[in-house]
Amino acid sequence: MIKSTILTHFSPSPTIYSTDGTEPSHQLTRGDYSCRRGYELWLIEQARARNPDIALYFLAWTAPGWINNGTMYGPDTIEYMLNWLRCVDERGGKGGDRTLGLWNEAAQPDQDYLVSLRNALDANGFSSTKISIMDNAYFNEQEVAWAQANSTYRDAIGVAGLHDPCSYAYQPFPIARELGWDLWSSEDFSRDVTSWDAQSYWGKALSQLVQCSSINI
């Protein structure tokens, strides 16, 4: 079964360079909070105005330095992400298919943090927002082992996001299905988008994804 989703990817802005430039954060300091900064919340507003059914995917590249005194995962991160989702709601992105990632191509949290994040989402009106793990160029065997041993951890996760999954020496799709997770190609690659060569290459990449197995593209 092939599942496809019209999906737009956004990064909670950290006021730090994150691939596509630097944007001011929605929460520059612990006591600061504004949903009118940067372009991504505006873009969410515009996307949902044009297509109310578009899926939204939020993935941080990093976070402001005040978060947990410089540590990525902790209570401050959870509140920071909750405030991001509140801003998304305020700017027209409320409800629908939404997924919250953790940290792009970086260390993933322990089980306690992820379960705490899931509980916080549920308690604050975001129970339908899924959590995505991994978002890296490998299928994290530690997280798989945790999920196989801990059903609370496993059930807190909705998505495993892999980068270029069809380039793997083995296929992780059966494992993800066994755990009840969607498996996404959360990052893939192409070439210079201004050339026809790039378009044909992108078409080839999409075809490979379909052949790999059940995957959101």
What tens digit of pLDDT does each residue of 126-147 get?
Answer: 999 999 999 887 778 899 999 9
Which class would CATH give 7-212? alpha beta
Domain residue ranges of the chain, discontinuous segments joined by + = 7-212
What pLDDT score does 217 carry?
Answer: 42
Region of residue 5 (left: phi > 0; alpha: psi -120 to 50; beta: else): beta
What pLDDT score does 175 carry?
Answer: 84
Higher-pLDDT residue of 112 and 1 is 112
Which ranges constitute the DSSP H helices of 12-110?
Answer: 40-50, 75-88
Q: Which residues are identified as catalytic?
A: 105, 187
What tens digit of pLDDT does each residue of 84-125 get?
Answer: 999 999 999 999 999 999 998 889 999 999 999 999 999 999
Burial class, 142, CB count within 10 angstroms (exposed 0-12 / middle 13-18 / buried 19+) = exposed
Number of helices (H), then strands (E), belonging to the chain: the values are 7, 6
What pLDDT score does 6 carry?
Answer: 44
Distance CA 174, CA 138 (A): 15
What pLDDT score does 15 carry?
Answer: 54
